[in-house]
Structure 1
Amino acid sequence: MTIFSLSVPPAPPAVRPAVDMGDPAGTPNAVELTNRYVTRAGTPWFPVMGEYHYSRDDAARWETELRKIKAGGIDVLATYVFWILHEEIEGTVRWDGNRDLRRFLQIAHRVGLCVVIRIGPWAHGEARNGGFPDWVQARPIEHRTNDPRYLTLVRHWYTAVERQLRGLFHSAANPDGPIIAVQVDNELYDQPDHIDTLRSIAEDLGMHASLWVATGWGGAQLPADRVMPVYAGYSDGFWESSQVDWPEFGPMHFTFSTVRDDLSVGADVRGTDAVAADRDYRYPFVTCELGGGMHVAYHRRPCVDSIDVAALGLVKIGSGSAWQGYYLYHGVQQVMGELTSTQESQETGYPNDVPLLDYDFYAPLGALGQVREHYHLLRQQHLLLQSFGAEIATYPAVIPPTEPGAPRWSVRGDGQRGYLFVNNHQPAGQPLPAIAGVQFAVELGPNTVTLPTAPIELASGSYFAWPLRQPFGSIPAVSATLQPITAIGSLVVFAATAGVDPELLVEGVDAATISGATVETLGDGTLLLRPTAQPGIDTVVTIGSTRLLILDPYTAARVWRGEIQGTDSLVVWDGALAFGDDFTLFPTSADNECLVLPPLADGSLPPGVAPAGARGVFSRYLVTGPDAVPEAAVVVEQRATGVAEHRRGGSANRASAPLESDFERAARLRIVLPDLSHLDESDSVYLSLEWVGDAARAYIGDEFVSDQFWSGRRWDIDLTPHRSVADLGIRLEALPWDPTADVFVDPRVRPAPTDSPLQFTAAELVVTRRVRFA
């Protein structure tokens, strides 16, 4: 048995840095900085930001997907403005259709999201030339410098962008404006004067933002007072070599640390000679690219799991993050331009070949709006930050030295109270072992909190945040082996920690007011409570006027909070939803249960929704979703005659993606669909293929609609725009896996060294119904 101890000192006062940003005094709802956190209207604010690229999705989907993003606990939206998609042809600047940036931002504002706009000119985002149009890239000038010829082009671009953003900036004159920050350029490491110039040009043209940011990873040299550095953290990287099982940088993102910089992100383009920049302690720790998943390149195809994303996010909070930002939070699709495709490739000067269309990223919300498990797991953390982040943001991180065999843990606290963070998870292939006999003793002023009260085995894969002497409702101080989720009225919702018995240490309460738990008085007068029921929807411990709902881990990840018909509400729902006056559920199965607190208004239930009594503190509703749809059939019309030819290219001499000539050897397959004519016009539908192979493309008629480099993930193909067509004529071209190719695929799914398979083992149709409440 080992007790791991830590003393948490009082938090020093936060200091407002002397930097050239932050709203002027007197600005309503002012956004300002301290050296540890951001404030809004004078109150500490812990923003949660998700990236979603408007120009890479269908404008008809924007509002639905933005509402789902908001429901995931995101309060700040980030988006790139890709120059190549707006001015592919010199002199023709387009803001129509899916390029309508202004309309997208107006929808985001209506949904309730603040905005960080990433205006380039160079953006990357796996776009060709980093987002420069080809005509810009071809100019004989010094790109991304203060070369006057380049700055003339920048001014032209920023002028066009400013016209779209006019009137949307948060300011004293426009306190309701959604844009709170602007990022200039991206991953620029050695041009601080140029970054400063970009901001000046943008401001000269009328872009006046509360905050100015630039990516700080890779040892970036930035103009110290003019932009706030923002950071990244990925659990894996497609940009690594095919010979790398797990990148060298991986462990740092699963270990509590004050290190903000990651030299690996962008190193395939920049080079590897960067030196980590000293942290600028005047600024809070802000992230903009915590990996919401991971993209694939032809040579390297990581298979990031949902738990990887969630554990990494929690580690960043426990390491002192004051702003959680995810890239990507919502998957999208690369755009076929007016002249050619727009993805990065070896042919256009990059070390990597990426798919022509696929940019799903295995994000929390997929490119078709699919809900992944990490959407739920992250939302649980986001609800914690929404309810308690104003306090967490002010707490410095105290991190004990990492010792062999010891747990990875930290405390954020102020010397009187705080939160204990623990992570014992690393991605598959590099798991952390279970640790026996673990207890944590945290000294907070005159009080020492020991959790759990008896040693436990810290399971491999576990990660959690436990409160230390936190006030909840009418209870002055609670420490617990439970993770808080949210508090609404007198109800506080907690998630049980898998493999750990629920315990609550409460101070300043009368034992006679407690029900739903056994009570033991400890030597210092603290009461030790153990719930009398196992964690679940019915498990409530009452202490005076406060009720503590203790959920099992699965149900805890299905908790939502938002406004329904103007009422702050809790929902338990396994799927997607959107809050607002037209509260909407998106069921994908025939029979579903939705729990709501408080009850939905009489007369608001649409057809297919029926009240069904109560479960615990919630009202229960049965929701009828889409009928089951038979599986599609995959018909092989022509077998593959070979694998893709081995080629290498790009600046790093990596394996190259198949060419058109390789697809002449591909298998030809046809998808036979069941009748979809019964679907409602508001229903969406996609084809989900389970397959093994190398690279594949999909066509509907003669239209190229989807592609994928196989990585072990399903391949989802959108059929919604075509659902009314009697015979879609879906055809596939697919190449077999080549065991001799210099390509990394996760060992968990990689075929045997002697196998060269091409198999389609499932073709499921996933229908999503839209159920709107009045």
Structure 2
Amino acid sequence: MKSHMKQIAFCILLLGLIIVRPAKATGIIYTIDLSKRMASPVYGYLKLGSNATPTGDSLNINNLFFIKNGKPWFPVMGEIHYVRLPEREWEEAILKMKASGIDIIATYVFWNYHEEQQGIFDWTGDRNLRAFAQLCRKHNMYLFLRIGPWCHGEVRYGGFPDWVQQLQGGTRKDNLIYLKYVESFFKEIGKQVQGLLFKDNGPIIGTQIENEYRFNNEKGYAHIMNLKKLAVEAGIDTPYYTATGWPGSNTQQSELIPVWGGYPEAPWSKSTVQLALSENYLFGPLRNDPLIGNDLLGKQEKASMEGYRYPYATAEMGGGNQITYHRRPIITSDDVVAQAYTKTGSGANLLGYYMYHGGSNKIGKHSTLQESRATKYPNDYPILSYDFYSPLGEWGQVRESLRDFKVLHYFLNDFGARLATMHSHFSEQNCSTPSCKDSLRMAVRSSGESGFVFVSNYQRQLEMKDLKNVRFQLKTDEGDTLCFPSKGLTVTKNAQMILPFYMDLNGALLKYATMQPLCVLNNPVPTYVFFSHAPNESELALKAEHIKRLTIGEEIRSPKEGEFILRFSPSESKMIHILMDNGKETNILLITHQEARNSWKIHNGQQDYLCISPDEVIPDSDKLTIHKTGNSVFNFSIYPADGLQLHNTEKQAVLKNQQTAWSSDYQASLPPVDLRLIVKRVKDPNKDQSDHKLLPEDNRLDSVPSTCPGPQYFVNFKPVEGSSYWQVSLPKQTNKSYVSNTFLQLDYTGDTGSLYQEGKLIADDYFAGLPMTYSLNRLNQKRGDLLFQIIPFHKDLKIYFEKGIREKLHDNEAILQHAQVIPQYEITFLFNH
């Protein structure tokens, strides 16, 4: 009680100093009342499909959160389109997504990929939905199908085959002719997923009906209910059914869960100048992103949440953004990850990303399959590339955003059951406009007593400030006031944080921490992993009650006034061991922020491990695969140090192992390969034209504005006036088994870059300021020479670039600055139990 009174007095004193002397104040206390009575869970009124398995697993839902096997559940969902990847790459893609904390895979089922020609369905090869679902089941990943029938997804006619687009009476309404063909399509999907639904112990747990469809009116609602009825009758029986909340949804119905989204940019906007600052970076009550779909649907209104009856769920949090011809932003990790923090802090209880893994469009039998102005849509997208700046790119490459997302996902995987039941609270001192940078952006999710403070000091296209001496004053529902931290935080510009308070650690009570929870290793002695936020001193306050002994390394610490106050440099890694008076033991592992970004959680048998590596780690059931691009030396650490035996399968690798106080440190090196590339300027490209059409041509508008003409390259190579051409002679295919891939990187300037093999388009790029990359694993077996075409940039083109990009471009410029082939090395270790 004495220390509690001191805490209140300390907070009041600080607050008084700030109020009395505002001109000299260097910080602020953010005050939030957590004692306000919030809504309680309501069960039973949302209509689910079959939601139990023969083995006793169940999925449920209430108005606040999702439920798995009777316990609150915070799902993390990532989108990948199986038809946009070669079938041979699916398994690795699924494993990479799983390794980054994704537990539900979402995918569109594009109608025109499966019934391009009326009455002839194709579910083979890269279109084999059933095989993809079986791989999800193999790796214990849930699957959410977005079946449309209209999907959008930047696909031609939103996924409608051309013949459907031309149906008499129109589409996307209760036209009996249209519904007859939808019924046929849904029945085909039903056949593909038979035996793979959740009720059959399968992975498929959800179905999204339609997309970007207004059903807050009588006709719209009747149509979307008819679509759901057709799906159920076709055998698509899943625990969850969803529909996009935008552009207008009926929020009183009980058949479909509205899902929301938010993107860092709007490349579909008609504008070719910098957009207004986005509200998606602000904490606040649930709302939709008014820019989603405004290319097709016009101005969107913010959603009304009065009487909202569903968990706040997202399906299209931007994992990136796909660029268009007229708008070419560069999306960074902070651009996307900051939104995930703000939406989670604001109450989201399902994080769903679009896209999480990029891909490549296919060429159809009768047309290209990308969205284009030739199909009367507002935007021209690349013919092939659908990279989306995703955490996993078009070629499966790991981006920095995956590492930052992974930090958040691991937290949600292990602490989401607590978080899901917590309500969001907002301070009146919070930033309320996107241009604000003098006040903190924060929210608290709390059950009234314990909880987490969410902070995100980021706004795309705005230079933020470091905010110093930040403290939080929280009034709990028991009347207590918690003020922390003792020395105040420096929240650096662009920082994102989650800070716990009154958190139970296996019986020990963490009063607060300036470190962020990463994950739990659920071993016989559980390990709670936290990471620091530089430049702040890492501070943990633990209640001494029931703690018999606390040691840091070999040093025994003693409490003071009933608490352990532990402080460390943000660059330190430490192991804390707690012994409770009831005999329970707990470890707390403290690591740096960079180590957290490089952490990969592994579950092997009955044991959890943490692998810390700057490389790309892909755990599987009995092995650990590590990729490294451009360098053949691997470094990684494994915690706990004992119990895991790794047997290297690559005979040419040299492996070194060193034991530290709390981990095993490994270094593995492979012989580097020399992949020399020969590039020559081609003066006469006519010889590269095919004598016959290899593929259907992409259709173009007969007349296009010269200020924004759209892409001028073709699926069958044709010379374009003013372009430059380059013959790319590839190195011989390496016979080294440890080289898992090779990437061709082309650093160029111009309007577009297009790569051809034997006159056939195999990759394309809209220049935005970054090099173009192509996975040589995608080549057919005739490797041969490739032709790279650069169409010149013209200074009068109406195109949006990030700051500094246009200024570097010259009129009629089409230059290849540099080309190289970069190897990806792979090493695999087998676990020994």
Pairing 1:563–2:600 present: no
Say if 1:395 and 1:414, in contact at 8 Å, map to a contact too.
yes
Q: Which residue does 1:242 correspond to in 2?
A: 271
Q: Which residue does 2:588 correspond to in 1?
A: 548
User: Percent identity of the aligned residues?
Assistant: 28
Q: Which residue does 1:760 correspond to in 2?
A: 816
For residue 331 of structure 1, report the CA deviation from its aligned partner.
0.5
TM, length-normalised to structure 1: 0.92
Aligned length: 759
Say if 1:351 and 1:654, in contact at 8 Å, map to a contact too.
no
Distance 1:332 1:340 in 2: 18
Q: 1:430 aligns with which of 458, 462, 479?
A: 462
Pairing 1:213–2:253 present: no
Q: Which residue does 1:170 correspond to in 2?
A: 198
Q: 1:131 aligns with which of 159, 167, 172?
A: 159
Say if 1:666 and 1:734, in contact at 8 Å, map to a contact too.
yes
Q: Which residue does 1:643 correspond to in 2?
A: none
Distance 1:232 1:67 in 2: 25
Q: 1:578 aligns with which of 612, 618, 624?
A: 618
Q: 1:698 aligns with which of 755, 771, 775?
A: 755
The residue matched to 1:731 in structure 2 has which SS? strand
Distance 2:151 2:464 in 1: 36
Q: 1:595 aligns with which of 608, 622, 637?
A: 637
Say if 2:790 and 2:815, in contact at 8 Å, map to a contact too.
no
For residue 67 of structure 1, report the CA deviation from its aligned partner.
0.9
Say if 1:23 and 1:31, in contact at 8 Å, map to a contact too.
no
Once the two structures are superposed, residues 325-374 of structure 1 have per-residue CA deviations (whole angstroms, 9 ceiling, x without a partner) of 11110010011111111000000011100000010111001111100011
Q: 1:739 aligns with which of 770, 795, 798?
A: 795
After TM superposition, list the pairs within 5 Å mapping 1:142-161 onto structure 2: 142-161=170-189
Distance 2:306 2:105 in 1: 25
Pairing 1:359–2:379 present: no
Q: 1:750 aligns with which of 790, 806, 810?
A: 806
For residue 217 of structure 1, report the CA deviation from its aligned partner.
2.1
Distance 1:503 1:655, change over 3 A: farther
Say if 1:514 and 1:541, in contact at 8 Å, map to a contact too.
yes
The residue matched to 1:751 in structure 2 has which SS? helix
Q: 1:502 aligns with which of 524, 527, 538?
A: 538
Distance 1:67 1:686 in 2: 21
Distance 2:342 2:455 in 1: 8
Pairing 1:606–2:649 present: yes
Gaps of 5+ in 1: 641-645
Query: Is 314-323 or 689-698 further displaced after alignment?
Result: 689-698
Distance 1:625 1:356, change over 3 A: farther
Distance 1:514 1:615, change over 3 A: closer
For residue 714 of structure 1, report the CA deviation from its aligned partner.
2.5
After TM superposition, list the pairs within 5 Å mapping 1:326-475 onto structure 2: 326-401=353-428, 402-403=430-431, 405-427=438-460, 429-444=461-476, 445-475=478-508
Structure 1 counterpart of 2:635, one-letter code: E
Pairing 1:657–2:711 present: yes
Q: 1:493 aligns with which of 514, 517, 529?
A: 529
CA RMSD of aligned residues (A): 2.7
For residue 392 of structure 1, report the CA deviation from its aligned partner.
0.6
Distance 1:617 1:681, change over 3 A: closer
Say if 1:595 and 1:619, in contact at 8 Å, map to a contact too.
yes
Distance 1:715 1:224, change over 3 A: same
Q: Mark the structure with the bigger radius of gyration.
A: 2
Structure 2 counterpart of 1:197, one-letter code: N
Pairing 1:5–2:31 present: yes
Distance 1:695 1:463, change over 3 A: same
Q: 2:734 aligns with which of 673, 677, 701?
A: 677
Structure 1 counterpart of 2:586, one-letter code: T
Q: 1:182 aligns with which of 193, 207, 215?
A: 207
Query: Is 604-613 or 700-709 further displaced after alignment?
Result: 604-613
Distance 1:609 1:167 in 2: 46
Distance 1:671 1:156, change over 3 A: same
Once the two structures are superposed, residues 279-323 of structure 1 have per-residue CA deviations (whole angstroms, 9 ceiling, x without a partner) of 552100001111111101000011110121111111111011101
Distance 1:626 1:129, change over 3 A: farther
Distance 1:615 1:301 in 2: 47
Say if 1:350 and 1:650, in contact at 8 Å, map to a contact too.
no
Q: Which residue does 1:265 correspond to in 2?
A: 292
For residue 434 of structure 1, report the CA deviation from its aligned partner.
2.4
Distance 2:764 2:298 in 1: 30
Distance 2:136 2:39 in 1: 37
For residue 625 of structure 1, report the CA deviation from its aligned partner.
4.6
Q: Which residue does 2:662 correspond to in 1?
A: 617
Q: 1:728 aligns with which of 759, 775, 784?
A: 784
TM, length-normalised to structure 2: 0.86
Q: Which residue does 2:230 correspond to in 1?
A: 201
Distance 1:19 1:766, change over 3 A: same
Distance 1:534 1:406, change over 3 A: closer
Say if 1:349 and 1:650, in contact at 8 Å, map to a contact too.
no
After TM superposition, list the pairs within 5 Å mapping 1:67-86 onto structure 2: 67-86=95-114
Say if 2:618 and 2:626, in contact at 8 Å, map to a contact too.
yes
The residue matched to 1:773 in structure 2 has which SS? strand
Pairing 1:63–2:99 present: no
Say if 2:533 and 2:570, in contact at 8 Å, map to a contact too.
no
Say if 1:518 and 1:529, in contact at 8 Å, map to a contact too.
no
Distance 1:675 1:601 in 2: 38
The residue matched to 1:766 in structure 2 has which SS? strand
Distance 1:751 1:631 in 2: 32
Structure 1 counterpart of 2:637, one-letter code: L
Structure 1 counterpart of 2:753, one-letter code: A
Distance 2:367 2:671 in 1: 39
Say if 1:520 and 1:527, in contact at 8 Å, map to a contact too.
yes
The residue matched to 2:198 in structure 1 has which SS? coil
